[in-house]
Chain A
Amino acid sequence: MSRTEQITIDDTDRLLLNNLQGGFPVTHRPFADVAARLGLDEDDVIARIRRMVETGALSRFGTVLNAPQLGGERTLAAMHVPADRFEEVAAFVNGLDAISHNYERTHHLNMWFVISSEDEADIQRTIDDIERHTGLPVLNMPTLEEYFVDIKFKF
């Protein structure tokens, strides 16, 4: 992983983080609703969230979209890329629009990426493109079932 400076947060920030990874009210005064539930002050909640966005403790405060429900298609794919070709292949794969995530991982299959597109045909086209360009086989591992997970990083 690329090194990121670790950020310190206090107990109240932690309380907010552990209780607000979803379920933010869609109401007239949502921060007041959250503050009342957690025994905090509305403006303090807003200020703390703003600070956590500014320091980078939060990537953002808002929506997480659900790609499949938006009519898009996505799949997970994996490749074995020889070490001496890794950077070249990574640059090619990352350069493709349909690639939304790409990770190097500790396995013989050492490159794992998500292909995501509004157009189903794009997925296969992208796989074909990568195989043709690199000469390496791509293992397509689309989701067959997704199990409901309540996101819950504990801080």
Chain B
Amino acid sequence: MAALTPEERDVLAAIQDGLPLVREPYAAVAHRLGLGEARVVEIITSLLAERKIKRIGAVPNHYALGITANGMSVWDVPDAVATDAGRRLGERDAVTHCYKRPRHPGWPYNIFGMVHGASREAVIASVEQIARDLDIARYPHDVLFSTRLLKKRGTRVRAAADDAGA
């Protein structure tokens, strides 16, 4: 990840498992790294502006909170209107990730929208509602539910010091 300076890498490595839950969390991080608080604030602010950090806040464990159904809705949308459909799909509250991806022989779908809900029935109902609202019900679509999470690790960075030794 050459896109990060050693200082940025150290700051990210220090906070990626969680911010210190104290009144002055950035000062605490700065203290740990031997930097000034203003410098840490500046680095994090610029990483946010560059979208290297997507967001900062609460990362809910939605399974533990009862949002246990995870449906990947997939749509075969004509190429000419796929971008527009993808954008509108992504705007829906129920959709948490939305992408255009290539079709393959036997796989006609090009638009993918992740939909979460309390149950499979709730996810299917929300996909059908979206299909009606966005007038895309006429395009072939399907919902693939996950039956098992086999592996999950978040995106992580290594501290600059670890990198030097690697």
Q: What does DSSP make chain B's interface, helix, strand, loop or mixed?
A: mixed
The answer to the question of A38 belonging to the interface, with a C-beta cut-off of 8 Å to chain B, is no
Q: A103-B149, A142-B102 are in contact. Are A69 and B58 (CB under 8 A)?
A: no
| Residue in B17, B23, B62 whose beta carbon sits within 8 Å of that of A32 in the complex | B23
B30 to chain A, nearest CB (A): 11
The CA-CA distance from A66 to B12 in the complex, in Å, is: 12
The answer to the question of B32 belonging to the interface, with a C-beta cut-off of 8 Å to chain A, is no
Q: A2-B149, A139-B104 are in contact. Are A56 and B58 (CB under 8 A)?
A: no
The CA-CA distance from A116 to B12 in the complex, in Å, is: 18
| Residue in B19, B48, B147 whose beta carbon sits within 8 Å of that of A62 in the complex | B19
**Do A4 and B93 touch across chains, with their CB atoms under 8 A apart?**
no
* Least CB separation from A31: chain B residue: B23
Count, chain B residues at interface, CB 8 A:
77
Contacts of B37 in A (CB 8 A): 28
**Do A94 and B62 touch across chains, with their CB atoms under 8 A apart?**
no
The answer to the question of A105 belonging to the interface, with a C-beta cut-off of 8 Å to chain B, is yes
Q: A2-B149, A141-B101 are in contact. Are A62 and B107 (CB under 8 A)?
A: no
The CA-CA distance from A112 to B137 in the complex, in Å, is: 25
B154 to chain A, nearest CB (A): 7
**Do B148 and A24 touch across chains, with their CB atoms under 8 A apart?**
no
**Do A151 and B96 touch across chains, with their CB atoms under 8 A apart?**
yes
**Do B104 and A141 touch across chains, with their CB atoms under 8 A apart?**
yes
Contacts of A36 in B (CB 8 A): none
**Do B61 and A71 touch across chains, with their CB atoms under 8 A apart?**
no
Q: A28-B37, A100-B153 are in contact. Are A23 and B57 (CB under 8 A)?
A: yes
| Residue in B52, B62, B101, B151 whose beta carbon sits within 8 Å of that of A69 in the complex | B52
The answer to the question of B72 belonging to the interface, with a C-beta cut-off of 8 Å to chain A, is yes
Question: How does the 8 Å CB contact mask read for B45-72 relative to A, with 1 for contact and 0 for none?
Answer: 1001011111111111111111110101
Q: A2-B149, A71-B2, A112-B72 are in contact. Are A52 and B58 (CB under 8 A)?
A: yes
Given contacts A46-B22, A141-B107, list 13 more A-B pairs with CB under 8 A.
Answer: A6-B66, A29-B23, A58-B59, A60-B18, A61-B18, A76-B101, A101-B152, A103-B149, A106-B144, A139-B107, A143-B100, A144-B101, A146-B98
In the A-B complex, the 8 residue pairs with the smallest Cβ-Cβ separation, listed nearest first, are: A147-B90, A22-B55, A71-B3, A102-B150, A145-B100, A104-B148, A102-B151, A141-B101
Q: Interface on A for B, CB 8 Å cutoff?
A: 1-2, 4-7, 9, 16-17, 20-24, 26-32, 42-43, 46, 49-50, 52-53, 55-67, 69-72, 76, 78, 90, 93-94, 99-107, 109, 111-113, 116, 118, 139-149, 151-155
Q: Interface on B for A, CB 8 Å cutoff?
A: 1-4, 12, 15-19, 21-27, 37, 41, 44-45, 48, 50-68, 70, 72, 83, 86-87, 89-90, 93, 95-102, 104, 107, 110, 112, 116, 142, 144-157
User: What are some 12 contacts across the A-B interface (CB < 8 A)?
Assistant: A2-B148, A17-B60, A26-B56, A63-B15, A64-B55, A65-B156, A102-B150, A105-B145, A141-B104, A146-B99, A146-B100, A147-B100
